[in-house]
Amino acid sequence: MHLPSSSTLPTNLLAAAFGNTSATYKFYWFLALLDKAEQTQWKIGKQELFAGMISHAWYTVNYFQISFGKQDLIHQTAATLLKTEGLKVDIKRPELEKILEHSQDKQTLRLLGHFNKNVPHWFLTPWFPKAKGNTENDNAYRKRIYQSSQAFENGCLYALWDNHILINPIWQDYLFANAKVLRDFCYWNLANFLQVRNPNVPDINGKLVKPPFRGTLANQRKYFWDIVFRELGTVDCIFTATKLKQENYALDHFIPHAFVAHDLMWNLVPINSTFNSYKSDRLAPLDQYFDKLYNLQYEALQIILHHTPKNKFLEEYYPLFPSFSNLGDFTYDRYKETIQPLTAIAHNNGFLYL
């Protein structure tokens, strides 16, 4: 994916700002900057931008538990602020930004202030590269970038000051007019960066932003599991062994939605509503619960294939069982080969067992 072209701007240098990245800082810095550009805010406080960086990463870190790498302080900061500021995982981004922008908590200010040491000036290094043989140390290099940017030398994106940045006027129309494409470019590169660090995690793209809403699973209940309940009368909860009825069960993601990021039927199972609240995003130990999961799924498929053989939810089993046409294709081993590695990877990413 390429940046929007310009006959007057050094867009090649903007693209170069995302090269040689060893952490997510540049991506989230630019996303925060684009938020302000869309509001035609050209003089921007650094704490506003640092708050924006954390707010963009918040859901990816604290809900989906994507790894940014051990040295990435955005990941560490978002996880720490969840606890120290007493915030909720599903807090709305504008509310989170406002809290962080105006926080006077010493630890919060220290965590946000850390990004000032490197992020703002390192983003500008394509405009101010070190000459071959240049021996200036990091402090001298940082000072030179600050001073040169304040004169907008080399057509740099913004000028740097102690507490704020000022977007170069020659870039303002470009940022405003192309904000959506620029954001997509940034997310595309961020997704590639994170996928390398999370090679077995599904749907990285879908975990970069908080979805506007979570589905109710109403159709999964009405057109699949309610049919099963009408046939059986009751279903034993695989976790509590309590007998569930059609009017009082909850649908649970056996592997947490926060990891798989989908509502596919092969990962849904009816369980006790009270236990569902307790289970939350915890993982079920397979030695205790996989056999029960498989047996219930097998019985449900038997009923659905008999009563509604053209049920649209049967299609959700095809990626696991490409030749799925009857119950003989829904094998214990093949199902476990899907559930077991996903559970192990989720645990390695920080999801806890019951």
Nearby residues of 334 by Cβ (< 8 Å), 6 or more positions away: 320, 321
Nearby residues of 265 by Cβ (< 8 Å), 6 or more positions away: 220, 224, 313, 316, 317
Helix count (H) and strand count (E) of the chain? 16, 7
The three-point CA angle 78-80-82 to 5° equals: 70
Tokens of 118: 């490197």
Q: Is the pTM of this model over 0.85?
A: no
Per-residue pLDDT 10s for the chain (354 aa) are 789 999 999 999 999 999 888 889 999 999 999 999 999 999 999 999 999 999 999 999 999 999 898 788 999 999 999 988 889 998 989 999 999 999 989 999 999 999 999 999 999 999 999 887 777 898 999 999 999 999 999 999 999 999 999 999 999 999 999 999 999 999 999 999 999 998 888 889 989 988 766 678 999 999 999 999 999 999 999 999 999 999 999 999 999 998 988 899 999 999 999 999 999 999 999 999 999 999 999 999 999 999 999 999 998 988 888 766 667 788 999 999 999 999 998 898 889 999
Nearby residues of 79 by Cβ (< 8 Å), 6 or more positions away: 61, 62
Rounded to an integer, what distance in angstroms lies between the CA atom of residue 257 and that of residue 264? 10
SS3 breakdown of the chain: % helix, strand, coil, rounded to 5?
A: 55, 5, 35
